[in-house]
Amino acid sequence: MKPHDSAHLHVTGQSEFVDDRPASQNEVFVTVVFSRIAKGRIKKLDVSPVKTDPDFIAFYTAADLHSNRWGTIFQDQPVLAEGTVEFAGEPIALLVTRDRRSGERLRKKIILQIEPLPAIRSVREAIAARSFIGSAREIKRNFDENVFAQAPECIAGHLVIEGADHFYLESQAALAYPIEDGQIEIHSSSQHPTEVQHVVAHALGLPDSAVTTVVKRMGGGFGGKESQAAPIATFAALAAHKLNRPARLILTKDDDMIMTGKRNPFEIDYRVAFDREGRILGLDAKLHSDGGAYADLSTSIMERAMLHSDNAYFIPHMRVQGQVCRTNYHPHTAFRGFGGPKGVAMIERIIEEIAHRLGIDALDIRRKNLYSDQGGRNVTHYGQVVENNQLSICLERAAEASNYERRRQEIQASNQRAIENGENTLRGLSMTLVKFGISFTTRFLNQGNAFVICHRDGTFQVSTGATEMGQGVNARIAQLLAEEFSLPRDQFRMMPTRTDKNANTSPTAASSGTDLNGAAALLAARKLKYRLSEFASKLLELPESRYPSNTAGLGTEAEILISAAPNYTDPNEKPESFGVVFEKGMVYLKRDPQKQIHFASLVNQAYLSRISLSDYAHYRIPGIEFNKLTGQGRAFLYFTQGAAVSEVRIDRLTGEAKVERVDVWMDLGRPIHEGLDLGQVSGAFVQGMGWVTTEKLFYSKDGLLLSHSPSTYKIPNIQDTPRTFNLNLVPNDENYANVRGTKAVGEPPLLLALSVWTAIQDALKQLPRYRDHYPRISIPATQERILRTVDPDAFKQIEGSAFNEFVV
C-alpha cells in the first residue's frame, strides 16, 4: 500500500496550507478584537487611537454586516457581538491592517470597556438558573422503577467530565479573494466548506452562488473546524468584500484557544441496578452538558452521548435523559467522538464499580453484559439491532493477546506487596470496549457527491465533498478507484474541495468522510467504467486498422455506439462488465485474454468516439430511520467495534501515571488502507489518552482561558505514549452495510483510551481506604487529581486556597 497521498509533501515542507499561499498585491490582514470577560455590556469601543497610524486600514463591527446571526442548528449566535458579550473570547470587532504584526500592535491600543454582568460558569449554576439550550431529551426502553426497588444491588454516582481543546497544529485560518462581479473566493481551513459558503453569503447579503469555498487541506481538525471555521472565514470575507482587496486572517494559537469552543464538559448522575453475579438489570442516567454561550452543535452532541450510553452492553431496562446547559463559556463544539465518549465513560465506570462492589474482575462483568445474538440481547435502547456483532471476538482476542488473566494475578500480588511494604508504585489493569455508531444521526446529512474526470492519458482528477485534515480520506478514495480500474493509485489525483464542483456537501465528520464521498466517487467511476467496458467489448472485436485513432480524423469509420450507463445507487453493486476485464493497466476480453489494450489507449479511443470520460454521482446512505422525537429507530448504518487493555503504573508520592502497555483490537471490516487505519487507531488512542489524563483547561475568575498555549496546556508527547503499544485488526469479511465492506476508523479508537482512565482507578482501588467504595476520579485524571485521590487528607489544609481552585 502506498502511504498518505501528501506524505512526501509533508516531510519535505511542500504541503500548502492556507497561510502558505503567497501574499497578493494589496492584501490586508484581519485581527479580531474580542472580549476578555465572560459576560458584560459593551460600554465603549473607541478606535480613534489607531486611525492615524499608517498601518491602519479599516475597522468593522456588527453594523457592517448584512446579517449578524449564524448557527449550525439554531441561528442564535452573533457573528460579531452587539451590545453585550456572552463569553470571554467572543469576537466584537475586526481590525484591518497592512500586516499581522501591525494588527497585533494596534489591537492593544483600541479602547474597549465592558461592564461586567453576572455570569453562569458551571453546569450546576446553569441547572439552578434553568439556563438551557434546547429542550430536555429522553431515550428509554422498558424503564420501570420497580427494577431498582427490587434489585439485589444498586449503585448511584456522579461523574464529572471536563472539556478539552482540539489543539490542531494549524490554527483557524481563512484567506478571501474578491473576484469580478461581487464574487468572493475563500480558502478556508474548514471541515465544512458548504457551511462556510452559506454563512459568508448570508452575513454579506450575497447569494450562495457568489461565494466559493476552497479547502485544499487542513493541519488538523478533530471536529474543531466543523462549524467554527465559518465565522473566521466570514471575518476575512467581510474585509475583502468591503475593501475589494484580498484579506487574510490567521489566528495565533493563543487567540485560537481563547476564542474557540472545546469538547463539551459533562456532568452525569446515574443509578444502576444489578444482580449479585454482575448482570445489569436497569440504568437510569441524567446527562447535563455545558454548551457554552450559544448552541453550536451541542444538542446533537448530547444526542450522541445518549445513544452511546449503553456502549457494548445490553441493558434490559434503561432510561437516559439529556439537557444542554447555557453558560458563559465559548460555545462548545464537535470533537472527535462527538458525544460518544461521555456516554461510554459513564457505562465503563459503572462496569468497574459493579466489579468493585461484588469483588469480581471487571472483565467478567463485561463478558456477562455484552450485546449478544442469543436470547434477544441484541437490540439497543433506541431500538436498533446490533448487526455484525464482533464485540465478543474483540474482547476475547484482546484478553488473550494481552495475557490479561496472568497479568491480573501478577498486578494484584505486586500491589499487595507495595501496600504492605510501603512502596510507592501501584499498578492498574483494565479493559474497555467500544461500539461506535457510524453515520450522522441527522438523516439529511448522510449524503455525498463526487465528480470523476478521466483524461486522455488515462489519469484521473477526482473531486468530492470530503476535506483532508490529515486522516487520509483522499488516499482512501483514490485507493477505492484504483482498485476499481486496476490501476496504480498515483494515476488518481484528488483535487481540492470546492463548493463550485461539489455543492451542498455535508461536513467531513462523524467518521463518515470515506463512507459518503468514497461511495459517491465509486458510483461515478462505475458509470464511467460501464461506458468504457461496453466500448471495449466492441472495440476489441475490430482490427487495429479500424480503431478510431486511425479513422476518426478521416471520418472513414462509423463511430462505436454505446448505451447510457445506469444510475448506480449501491456502491457494492458490481457494474455490467460486458465480458471485459480491467487488470494491471490493461483491458481485454475475458474470452480472449491475448488481445489487450492499454487503459490509456482505450480512453483515447473512447474520446475519439465522442464518449463521455467524466461523470458525477450522488450517494445517500440507505436505511437511516431514527425518529428524534421518539428516540427510536435505526440511528446508524453500522457499528465500528473494538477493545483495549491498558496497564498503568502510578507513583503514590507524585501522582504521576505512566502507561506501560496497551493492546488494541479493532474491527474495521475489510480496510481500504490498513496502514492508514492503524495510524488512525494509534493517533486516536493517544489523543484520547490526553483527554483522560493531562489535558486540563484552566480559566480565570472572569472566564478567560488561561491555559492557551503548549506551555500550560499539556497534550501528550512522545514520552507519554505507551511503552508497549500493540495494535491489531480483527478480520471481518461479513460487513455488507458499507462501501467495499470497510468500517470507519476516525473516531472510535479514541474511546478506547478510557481504558487508561479506568486502569488508573483500578490501581487506586487497591489502597485500603477504597476497600469499601470505588475511587471515583473525574476526567481528566491529572497528576494532581491522582495525588489527591491517593491521600485526600493531606490536601485538607489547603482546601479553599487559591491553589485548590486550580487543582480540583
Residues 6+ apart with CB under 8 A from 665: 394, 397, 398, 401, 642, 643, 644, 728, 729, 730
**Residue 86 appears among annotated catalytic residues:** no
Which of 220, 212, 168 lies closest to 194 in space, CA to CA?
212
Distance CA 402, CA 724 (A): 11
The answer to whether 759 and 430 have CB atoms below 8 angstroms apart is yes
3-state secondary structure 49-113: HHHCCCCEEEEECHHHCCCCEECCCCCCEECCCCCEECCCCCEEEEEEECCHHHHHHHHCCCEEE
How many other CB atoms are there within 10 angstroms of residue 567's CB atom? Answer: 9
Q: Which amino acid is at 697?
A: L
SS (H, E, C) 768-779: HHHCCCCCCCCE
Cβ–Cβ under 8 Å, residues 509 and 437: no
* Cell 491475448 -> residue: 594
Closest among 534, 536, 590, 588 to 566, alpha carbons compared: 534
Task: Give the dihedral sign, CA 387/388/393/395.
Answer: negative
CA distance 515 to 297: 22
**CB-based contact 402:622 (threshold 8 Å):** no
Phi, psi at 423, each rounded to 5°: -75, 160
Query: Active site residue: 90, 170, 484, 747, which one?
Result: 747
How far lies 282's CA from each of 142, 717, 743, in Å?
9, 40, 31
Cα torsion 783, 789, 794, 800: sign: positive
Q: How many Cβ atoms are within 10 Å of 101's Cβ, its own excluded?
A: 11
Q: Which of 646, 644, 639 is nearest to 665 (CA)?
A: 644
Where are the strands (E) in 208-343, listed by range? Answer: 211-215, 247-250, 266-274, 280-290, 317-325
User: The sheet that has 492-494: what strands, in order across it?
Assistant: 492-494, 460-464, 447-454, 614-620
CA 740 to mean position of chain CA atoms = 22
3-state secondary structure of 787: helix
The residues near 45 (Cβ < 8 Å, ≥ 6 apart) are: 33, 61, 92, 93, 110, 111, 112, 113
Is the separation of the CB atoms in 650 and 763 below 8 Å?
yes
Instruction: Tell me, rounded to whole angstroms, the distance of Cα 28 from its chain centroid.
Output: 32
In three-state secondary structure terms, 154 is strand
> What letter represents residue 213's amino acid?
T
Can the peptide bond before residue 780 be classed as cis, meaning omega within 30 degrees of 0?
A: yes
DSSP state of 22: P
C-alpha–C-alpha distance, residues 322 and 162, integer Å: 17
SS3 602: helix
Q: Can you tell me which residue has the cell 467489448?
A: 537
Q: How many CB atoms lie within 10 A of CB 378?
A: 15
**Residues 656, 305: contact at Cβ < 8 Å?**
no
Cell of 160: 464529572
The one-letter amino acid code at 642 reads G
Active site residues: 747
